[in-house]
Structure 1
Amino acid sequence: MTKNWAQWHEDYDNPNSWLAQRLEIVQRDLRRALVHAPCDPDGTRRLISICAGEGRDVLPVLADDDHGYAVRALLVELDQNLSQRARTTAATLGLSNVEVATADAGEVEVYRSVTPAHVIMACGVFGNISSDDIQRTIATLPVLLTVGGIVIWTRGLLDNGYDPSLEVRRCLEKHGFAELSFSSPAGSRNRVGMHQLSAHPAYAAPVHSCTRIFDFL
Protein backbone atom coordinates (compact mmCIF):
# COMPACT_ATOMS: atom_id res chain seq x y z
CA MET A 1 0.00 0.00 0.00
CA THR A 2 1.33 3.42 -0.95
CA LYS A 3 2.04 5.60 2.07
CA ASN A 4 -0.04 8.77 2.43
CA TRP A 5 2.83 11.24 2.62
CA ALA A 6 0.57 14.26 3.07
CA GLN A 7 -0.93 12.62 6.17
CA TRP A 8 2.55 11.58 7.35
CA HIS A 9 3.66 15.22 7.30
CA GLU A 10 0.90 16.16 9.73
CA ASP A 11 3.05 14.84 12.59
CA TYR A 12 5.28 17.87 12.14
CA ASP A 13 2.48 19.92 13.73
CA ASN A 14 2.67 17.91 16.96
CA PRO A 15 5.55 19.43 18.98
CA ASN A 16 6.01 16.16 20.87
CA SER A 17 6.33 13.98 17.77
CA TRP A 18 9.61 12.45 16.64
CA LEU A 19 9.29 14.37 13.38
CA ALA A 20 9.05 17.72 15.15
CA GLN A 21 12.02 16.80 17.33
CA ARG A 22 14.06 15.79 14.28
CA LEU A 23 13.08 18.96 12.47
CA GLU A 24 14.49 21.10 15.26
CA ILE A 25 17.87 19.35 15.00
CA VAL A 26 17.96 19.48 11.21
CA GLN A 27 17.13 23.19 11.11
CA ARG A 28 19.81 23.89 13.71
CA ASP A 29 22.38 22.04 11.64
CA LEU A 30 21.28 23.79 8.45
CA ARG A 31 21.81 27.20 10.06
CA ARG A 32 25.32 26.11 10.92
CA ALA A 33 25.95 24.76 7.42
CA LEU A 34 24.83 28.03 5.84
CA VAL A 35 27.54 29.81 7.78
CA HIS A 36 30.41 27.35 7.35
CA ALA A 37 29.87 25.87 3.88
CA PRO A 38 31.83 27.38 0.99
CA CYS A 39 30.08 29.90 -1.23
CA ASP A 40 30.36 31.62 -4.60
CA PRO A 41 32.41 34.84 -4.87
CA ASP A 42 29.25 36.90 -4.38
CA GLY A 43 28.44 35.05 -1.15
CA THR A 44 25.66 32.89 -2.58
CA ARG A 45 25.36 29.25 -1.56
CA ARG A 46 23.60 26.66 -3.70
CA LEU A 47 21.40 24.19 -1.81
CA ILE A 48 19.73 20.95 -2.87
CA SER A 49 16.98 19.27 -0.85
CA ILE A 50 16.39 15.66 -1.87
CA CYS A 51 12.82 14.37 -1.35
CA ALA A 52 12.01 17.77 0.13
CA GLY A 53 8.37 17.17 1.04
CA GLU A 54 6.77 20.45 2.08
CA GLY A 55 10.16 22.08 2.55
CA ARG A 56 9.87 22.34 6.31
CA ASP A 57 13.56 21.53 6.81
CA VAL A 58 14.66 24.39 4.59
CA LEU A 59 12.15 27.16 3.95
CA PRO A 60 11.72 28.58 7.48
CA VAL A 61 15.51 28.72 7.86
CA LEU A 62 16.00 30.57 4.58
CA ALA A 63 13.30 33.04 5.59
CA ASP A 64 15.10 33.88 8.86
CA ASP A 65 15.55 37.66 8.54
CA ASP A 66 18.00 37.74 11.45
CA HIS A 67 20.61 35.96 9.33
CA GLY A 68 19.87 37.05 5.78
CA TYR A 69 21.17 33.90 4.10
CA ALA A 70 22.04 34.31 0.41
CA VAL A 71 20.94 30.95 -0.97
CA ARG A 72 19.82 29.62 -4.32
CA ALA A 73 17.86 26.49 -3.49
CA LEU A 74 16.36 23.60 -5.41
CA LEU A 75 13.81 21.46 -3.60
CA VAL A 76 12.91 18.21 -5.35
CA GLU A 77 9.70 16.38 -4.44
CA LEU A 78 7.73 13.89 -6.54
CA ASP A 79 4.39 14.18 -4.71
CA GLN A 80 2.44 16.95 -6.45
CA ASN A 81 0.49 18.01 -3.37
CA LEU A 82 3.60 18.29 -1.21
CA SER A 83 5.65 20.09 -3.85
CA GLN A 84 2.84 22.58 -4.40
CA ARG A 85 2.68 23.24 -0.66
CA ALA A 86 6.42 23.90 -0.68
CA ARG A 87 6.06 26.19 -3.70
CA THR A 88 3.24 28.13 -2.02
CA THR A 89 5.19 28.46 1.23
CA ALA A 90 8.29 29.70 -0.60
CA ALA A 91 6.23 32.33 -2.41
CA THR A 92 4.49 33.39 0.81
CA LEU A 93 7.86 33.81 2.53
CA GLY A 94 9.20 35.83 -0.38
CA LEU A 95 11.90 33.29 -1.24
CA SER A 96 12.32 34.13 -4.92
CA ASN A 97 15.59 32.18 -5.18
CA VAL A 98 13.90 28.90 -4.26
CA GLU A 99 12.82 26.54 -7.03
CA VAL A 100 10.55 23.61 -6.22
CA ALA A 101 10.67 20.85 -8.82
CA THR A 102 7.93 18.24 -8.96
CA ALA A 103 10.27 15.51 -10.09
CA ASP A 104 11.88 12.17 -9.23
CA ALA A 105 14.71 12.89 -6.78
CA GLY A 106 16.38 9.62 -7.78
CA GLU A 107 17.28 11.07 -11.17
CA VAL A 108 20.59 12.97 -11.11
CA GLU A 109 19.66 15.11 -14.11
CA VAL A 110 17.14 17.09 -12.04
CA TYR A 111 19.98 18.64 -10.01
CA ARG A 112 22.11 19.84 -12.93
CA SER A 113 21.04 23.51 -12.68
CA VAL A 114 22.46 23.93 -9.16
CA THR A 115 25.53 21.68 -9.18
CA PRO A 116 28.02 21.73 -7.73
CA ALA A 117 26.02 22.54 -4.62
CA HIS A 118 27.40 23.88 -1.36
CA VAL A 119 24.78 22.20 0.86
CA ILE A 120 22.71 19.06 0.30
CA MET A 121 19.79 17.98 2.48
CA ALA A 122 19.16 14.22 2.49
CA CYS A 123 16.59 14.05 5.28
CA GLY A 124 14.03 11.27 5.30
CA VAL A 125 15.79 9.59 2.37
CA PHE A 126 18.00 6.79 3.72
CA GLY A 127 15.17 5.19 5.68
CA ASN A 128 13.10 4.77 2.52
CA ILE A 129 15.58 3.32 0.03
CA SER A 130 17.48 0.04 -0.16
CA SER A 131 20.91 -0.52 1.36
CA ASP A 132 22.46 -0.70 -2.11
CA ASP A 133 20.79 2.58 -3.06
CA ILE A 134 22.06 4.23 0.13
CA GLN A 135 25.60 3.33 -0.87
CA ARG A 136 25.02 4.47 -4.45
CA THR A 137 23.53 7.78 -3.30
CA ILE A 138 26.40 8.49 -0.93
CA ALA A 139 28.90 7.63 -3.66
CA THR A 140 27.16 10.17 -5.91
CA LEU A 141 27.13 13.02 -3.37
CA PRO A 142 30.73 14.07 -4.23
CA VAL A 143 29.57 14.47 -7.82
CA LEU A 144 26.86 16.90 -6.73
CA LEU A 145 28.90 18.84 -4.13
CA THR A 146 31.80 21.25 -4.28
CA VAL A 147 34.83 20.47 -2.11
CA GLY A 148 34.01 21.69 1.38
CA GLY A 149 30.31 21.22 0.72
CA ILE A 150 28.12 19.91 3.51
CA VAL A 151 25.48 17.19 3.55
CA ILE A 152 22.88 16.91 6.31
CA TRP A 153 21.17 13.52 6.56
CA THR A 154 18.86 11.50 8.80
CA ARG A 155 18.38 7.81 9.55
CA GLY A 156 16.18 6.46 12.31
CA LEU A 157 16.77 3.60 14.74
CA LEU A 158 14.99 0.36 13.74
CA ASP A 159 12.31 -1.36 15.81
CA ASN A 160 14.73 -4.16 16.71
CA GLY A 161 17.19 -1.67 18.18
CA TYR A 162 19.67 -1.81 15.32
CA ASP A 163 21.17 1.55 14.39
CA PRO A 164 21.68 1.76 10.59
CA SER A 165 23.18 5.24 10.92
CA LEU A 166 26.46 3.49 11.74
CA GLU A 167 26.61 2.15 8.19
CA VAL A 168 25.76 5.56 6.74
CA ARG A 169 28.58 7.19 8.69
CA ARG A 170 31.09 4.57 7.57
CA CYS A 171 30.02 4.93 3.95
CA LEU A 172 30.32 8.73 4.07
CA GLU A 173 33.83 8.44 5.48
CA LYS A 174 34.74 5.98 2.71
CA HIS A 175 33.67 8.51 0.08
CA GLY A 176 35.66 11.46 1.31
CA PHE A 177 33.47 13.02 4.00
CA ALA A 178 34.51 14.21 7.45
CA GLU A 179 31.95 14.19 10.23
CA LEU A 180 31.11 17.65 11.60
CA SER A 181 28.38 16.53 14.00
CA PHE A 182 26.18 13.59 14.85
CA SER A 183 23.04 13.93 16.97
CA SER A 184 21.42 10.97 18.71
CA PRO A 185 19.16 12.40 21.44
CA ALA A 186 18.68 10.20 24.51
CA GLY A 187 15.48 8.17 24.34
CA SER A 188 14.93 9.04 20.66
CA ARG A 189 15.20 7.05 17.45
CA ASN A 190 16.32 10.18 15.61
CA ARG A 191 19.80 10.27 14.14
CA VAL A 192 20.97 13.41 12.34
CA GLY A 193 24.41 13.72 10.80
CA MET A 194 26.31 16.57 9.19
CA HIS A 195 29.33 15.72 7.04
CA GLN A 196 31.70 17.83 4.95
CA LEU A 197 33.34 16.73 1.71
CA SER A 198 37.08 16.88 2.31
CA ALA A 199 38.09 16.14 -1.28
CA HIS A 200 36.64 14.70 -4.44
CA PRO A 201 37.48 10.99 -4.62
CA ALA A 202 39.66 10.10 -7.61
CA TYR A 203 36.94 7.76 -8.89
CA ALA A 204 34.12 10.34 -8.79
CA ALA A 205 32.34 10.38 -12.14
CA PRO A 206 31.21 13.61 -13.83
CA VAL A 207 27.59 14.52 -13.16
CA HIS A 208 26.51 13.95 -16.77
CA SER A 209 27.63 10.31 -16.61
CA CYS A 210 25.40 9.50 -13.61
CA THR A 211 21.76 8.70 -14.16
CA ARG A 212 19.69 7.08 -11.43
CA ILE A 213 20.84 6.83 -7.81
CA PHE A 214 17.86 5.42 -5.90
CA ASP A 215 14.27 4.23 -6.00
CA PHE A 216 11.99 5.29 -3.19
CA LEU A 217 10.40 2.24 -1.55
Structure 2
Amino acid sequence: MRMDWHAWHGDYDDADSYLARRLRIVREWIALTLDVAPPGRLRVVSLCAGQGRDLLGVLPDHPRGSDVTARLVELDPRNVGEARRGVAEAGLGEHVEVVAGDAALTDRYAGMVPADLVLACGIFGNVTDADVERAIGFLPQLCARGGSVIWTRHRREPDLVPRVCRWFEERGFERVWLTEPERGFGVGVHRFTGEPEELAAGARMFTFLT
Protein backbone atom coordinates (compact mmCIF):
# COMPACT_ATOMS: atom_id res chain seq x y z
CA MET A 1 0.00 0.00 0.00
CA ARG A 2 1.46 3.30 -1.08
CA MET A 3 1.88 6.19 1.33
CA ASP A 4 -0.60 9.06 0.96
CA TRP A 5 1.96 11.87 0.99
CA HIS A 6 -0.71 14.56 0.95
CA ALA A 7 -2.41 13.22 4.09
CA TRP A 8 1.03 12.73 5.68
CA HIS A 9 1.44 16.51 5.75
CA GLY A 10 -1.49 16.83 8.16
CA ASP A 11 0.78 16.21 11.15
CA TYR A 12 2.48 19.53 10.47
CA ASP A 13 -0.69 21.22 11.71
CA ASP A 14 -0.19 19.77 15.20
CA ALA A 15 2.38 22.06 16.82
CA ASP A 16 3.56 19.29 19.16
CA SER A 17 3.99 16.60 16.51
CA TYR A 18 7.30 15.08 15.49
CA LEU A 19 7.02 16.68 12.05
CA ALA A 20 6.13 20.14 13.36
CA ARG A 21 9.05 20.13 15.80
CA ARG A 22 11.40 19.00 13.06
CA LEU A 23 10.04 21.62 10.67
CA ARG A 24 10.76 24.42 13.14
CA ILE A 25 14.40 23.39 13.30
CA VAL A 26 14.71 23.08 9.52
CA ARG A 27 13.24 26.57 9.12
CA GLU A 28 15.66 27.96 11.72
CA TRP A 29 18.58 26.55 9.76
CA ILE A 30 17.27 27.80 6.42
CA ALA A 31 17.12 31.28 7.96
CA LEU A 32 20.58 30.98 9.52
CA THR A 33 22.04 29.72 6.24
CA LEU A 34 20.60 32.69 4.37
CA ASP A 35 21.90 35.03 7.10
CA VAL A 36 25.51 34.07 6.40
CA ALA A 37 25.25 33.58 2.63
CA PRO A 38 27.42 35.81 0.43
CA PRO A 39 25.79 38.88 -1.11
CA GLY A 40 24.05 38.58 -4.45
CA ARG A 41 21.66 36.10 -5.98
CA LEU A 42 21.19 32.77 -4.21
CA ARG A 43 20.00 29.48 -5.66
CA VAL A 44 17.99 26.97 -3.64
CA VAL A 45 16.77 23.53 -4.72
CA SER A 46 14.42 21.37 -2.67
CA LEU A 47 14.21 17.62 -3.33
CA CYS A 48 10.90 15.91 -2.54
CA ALA A 49 9.66 19.35 -1.49
CA GLY A 50 6.16 18.28 -0.49
CA GLN A 51 4.06 21.38 0.10
CA GLY A 52 7.15 23.55 0.50
CA ARG A 53 6.38 24.35 4.11
CA ASP A 54 10.06 24.60 5.06
CA LEU A 55 11.28 27.15 2.52
CA LEU A 56 7.97 28.98 2.09
CA GLY A 57 7.84 29.43 5.86
CA VAL A 58 11.07 31.44 5.76
CA LEU A 59 11.44 33.39 2.51
CA PRO A 60 8.55 35.90 2.83
CA ASP A 61 9.92 37.46 6.03
CA HIS A 62 13.66 36.93 5.60
CA PRO A 63 15.85 39.93 4.63
CA ARG A 64 17.50 37.82 1.93
CA GLY A 65 14.25 36.34 0.65
CA SER A 66 14.16 38.49 -2.46
CA ASP A 67 17.69 37.35 -3.36
CA VAL A 68 16.60 33.72 -3.62
CA THR A 69 15.71 31.88 -6.79
CA ALA A 70 14.36 28.46 -5.89
CA ARG A 71 13.12 25.27 -7.51
CA LEU A 72 10.94 22.89 -5.52
CA VAL A 73 10.52 19.42 -7.03
CA GLU A 74 7.63 17.21 -5.91
CA LEU A 75 5.88 14.19 -7.42
CA ASP A 76 2.51 14.15 -5.61
CA PRO A 77 0.16 16.38 -7.65
CA ARG A 78 -1.88 17.46 -4.62
CA ASN A 79 1.26 18.58 -2.80
CA VAL A 80 2.40 20.36 -5.94
CA GLY A 81 -0.89 22.25 -5.93
CA GLU A 82 -0.50 23.20 -2.26
CA ALA A 83 3.07 24.38 -2.86
CA ARG A 84 2.05 26.48 -5.85
CA ARG A 85 -0.75 28.07 -3.83
CA GLY A 86 1.75 28.83 -1.08
CA VAL A 87 4.11 30.46 -3.57
CA ALA A 88 1.30 32.60 -5.00
CA GLU A 89 -0.02 33.64 -1.58
CA ALA A 90 3.48 34.67 -0.49
CA GLY A 91 4.01 36.71 -3.66
CA LEU A 92 7.04 34.64 -4.62
CA GLY A 93 5.95 33.64 -8.10
CA GLU A 94 8.80 35.47 -9.83
CA HIS A 95 11.45 33.71 -7.75
CA VAL A 96 10.13 30.29 -6.72
CA GLU A 97 9.26 27.54 -9.20
CA VAL A 98 7.41 24.36 -8.24
CA VAL A 99 8.14 21.48 -10.61
CA ALA A 100 5.83 18.46 -10.77
CA GLY A 101 8.02 15.43 -11.27
CA ASP A 102 10.27 12.79 -9.78
CA ALA A 103 12.75 14.58 -7.53
CA ALA A 104 15.13 11.62 -7.71
CA LEU A 105 16.05 12.40 -11.32
CA THR A 106 19.03 14.68 -11.88
CA ASP A 107 17.44 16.28 -14.95
CA ARG A 108 14.95 18.10 -12.69
CA TYR A 109 17.76 20.35 -11.45
CA ALA A 110 19.34 21.33 -14.78
CA GLY A 111 19.88 25.07 -14.94
CA MET A 112 19.56 25.51 -11.16
CA VAL A 113 22.74 23.90 -9.92
CA PRO A 114 25.20 24.27 -8.38
CA ALA A 115 22.95 25.69 -5.66
CA ASP A 116 23.80 27.66 -2.54
CA LEU A 117 21.32 25.66 -0.48
CA VAL A 118 20.04 22.13 -1.08
CA LEU A 119 17.12 20.84 0.98
CA ALA A 120 17.03 17.05 1.32
CA CYS A 121 14.33 16.71 3.95
CA GLY A 122 12.05 13.70 4.27
CA ILE A 123 14.16 11.53 1.95
CA PHE A 124 16.72 9.57 3.96
CA GLY A 125 14.08 7.87 6.12
CA ASN A 126 12.16 6.59 3.10
CA VAL A 127 14.87 4.91 1.02
CA THR A 128 17.27 2.03 1.60
CA ASP A 129 20.54 2.67 3.41
CA ALA A 130 22.35 2.06 0.13
CA ASP A 131 20.24 4.74 -1.54
CA VAL A 132 20.97 7.20 1.27
CA GLU A 133 24.66 6.78 0.49
CA ARG A 134 23.97 6.92 -3.25
CA ALA A 135 21.96 10.16 -2.91
CA ILE A 136 24.70 11.79 -0.86
CA GLY A 137 27.14 10.81 -3.59
CA PHE A 138 25.18 12.96 -6.03
CA LEU A 139 25.11 16.06 -3.83
CA PRO A 140 28.47 17.43 -5.09
CA GLN A 141 26.63 17.76 -8.42
CA LEU A 142 23.89 19.85 -6.83
CA CYS A 143 25.81 21.97 -4.32
CA ALA A 144 28.01 25.00 -4.95
CA ARG A 145 31.35 25.28 -3.20
CA GLY A 146 30.55 26.78 0.20
CA GLY A 147 26.90 25.87 -0.21
CA SER A 148 24.93 23.95 2.39
CA VAL A 149 22.75 20.87 2.53
CA ILE A 150 20.03 20.62 5.17
CA TRP A 151 18.85 17.04 5.60
CA THR A 152 16.70 14.94 7.90
CA ARG A 153 16.57 11.34 9.08
CA HIS A 154 14.82 9.58 11.98
CA ARG A 155 16.97 8.19 14.81
CA ARG A 156 15.24 4.87 15.35
CA GLU A 157 17.56 1.90 15.86
CA PRO A 158 19.69 1.01 14.10
CA ASP A 159 20.54 4.73 14.02
CA LEU A 160 21.94 5.56 10.59
CA VAL A 161 22.71 9.21 11.36
CA PRO A 162 26.39 8.67 12.30
CA ARG A 163 26.94 6.87 8.99
CA VAL A 164 25.05 9.60 7.12
CA CYS A 165 27.44 12.16 8.57
CA ARG A 166 30.43 10.03 7.61
CA TRP A 167 29.15 9.66 4.03
CA PHE A 168 28.81 13.43 3.76
CA GLU A 169 32.26 14.02 5.17
CA GLU A 170 33.86 11.47 2.85
CA ARG A 171 32.51 13.48 -0.08
CA GLY A 172 33.89 16.89 0.77
CA PHE A 173 31.26 18.18 3.20
CA GLU A 174 31.99 19.51 6.66
CA ARG A 175 29.52 19.17 9.50
CA VAL A 176 28.02 22.46 10.62
CA TRP A 177 25.35 21.22 13.01
CA LEU A 178 23.43 18.12 14.06
CA THR A 179 20.52 17.61 16.45
CA GLU A 180 21.17 15.77 19.70
CA PRO A 181 20.19 12.06 19.63
CA GLU A 182 17.66 12.48 22.45
CA ARG A 183 15.42 14.61 20.24
CA GLY A 184 14.40 11.44 18.43
CA PHE A 185 14.92 12.88 14.97
CA GLY A 186 17.94 14.03 13.06
CA VAL A 187 18.35 17.37 11.33
CA GLY A 188 21.81 17.90 9.89
CA VAL A 189 23.56 20.76 8.16
CA HIS A 190 26.65 20.10 6.04
CA ARG A 191 28.68 22.64 4.06
CA PHE A 192 30.35 21.65 0.81
CA THR A 193 34.07 22.42 0.73
CA GLY A 194 34.91 20.66 -2.53
CA GLU A 195 34.54 21.57 -6.19
CA PRO A 196 31.10 21.11 -7.77
CA GLU A 197 30.83 18.19 -10.18
CA GLU A 198 29.09 18.26 -13.54
CA LEU A 199 25.44 17.27 -13.34
CA ALA A 200 24.97 13.76 -14.74
CA ALA A 201 22.15 13.64 -17.29
CA GLY A 202 19.33 11.17 -16.79
CA ALA A 203 20.62 9.67 -13.53
CA ARG A 204 18.45 8.40 -10.67
CA MET A 205 19.72 9.37 -7.24
CA PHE A 206 17.36 7.25 -5.11
CA THR A 207 14.09 5.30 -5.10
CA PHE A 208 11.37 5.71 -2.47
CA LEU A 209 10.26 2.56 -0.67
CA THR A 210 6.62 3.66 -0.31
User: What are the equivalent positions in structure 2 for 1:108-119 lying under 5 Å apart?
Assistant: 108-119=106-117
Which position in structure 2 is the counterpart of 1:15? 15
Task: Return the letter of the residue paired with 1:213.
Answer: M
Which position in structure 1 is the counterpart of 2:71? 74
Aligned residue for 1:126, secondary structure, equals coil
User: What are the equivalent positions in structure 2 for 1:61-210 lying under 5 Å apart?
Assistant: 61-64=58-61, 66-69=62-65, 70-96=67-93, 97-158=95-156, 161-184=157-180, 186=182, 188-200=183-195, 204=197, 206-209=198-201
Whole-Å separation in 2 of the counterparts to 1:184 and 1:32: 18
State the 1:184 CA deviation.
Answer: 2.4
TM-score by length of 1: 0.91
Which position in structure 2 is the counterpart of 1:60? 57
TM-score by length of 2: 0.94
Residues 122-152 of structure 1: CA distance to partner in whole angstroms, max 9, x if unpaired? 0001001111211111111011111001000
RMSD of aligned alpha carbons: 1.5
State the 1:31 CA deviation.
Answer: 0.5
Whole-Å separation in 1 of the counterparts to 2:180 and 2:52: 23
Whole-Å separation in 1 of the counterparts to 2:83 and 2:115: 20
Q: 1:209 to 1:38 in 2, by over 3 A?
A: farther
Residues 58-95 of structure 1: CA distance to partner in whole angstroms, max 9, x if unpaired? 1010111x524210000000000001100011001101
Which position in structure 1 is the counterpart of 2:207? 215
Whole-Å separation in 1 of the counterparts to 2:35 and 2:172: 21
* Structure 1 contact 38–148 (Cα < 8 Å) conserved: no
Aligned residue for 1:31, secondary structure, equals helix
State the 1:162 CA deviation.
Answer: 2.6
Whole-Å separation in 1 of the counterparts to 2:41 and 2:77: 28
Residues 28-71 of structure 1: CA distance to partner in whole angstroms, max 9, x if unpaired? 011011122346xxx1110000000000111010111x524210
State the 1:200 CA deviation.
Answer: 2.4
Whole-Å separation in 2 of the counterparts to 1:143 and 1:35: 24
Whole-Å separation in 1 of the counterparts to 2:64 and 2:147: 20
Task: Return the letter of the residue paired with 1:167.
Answer: R
**Paired residues, number:** 207
Aligned residue for 2:107, secondary structure, equals helix
State the 1:185 CA deviation.
Answer: 6.2
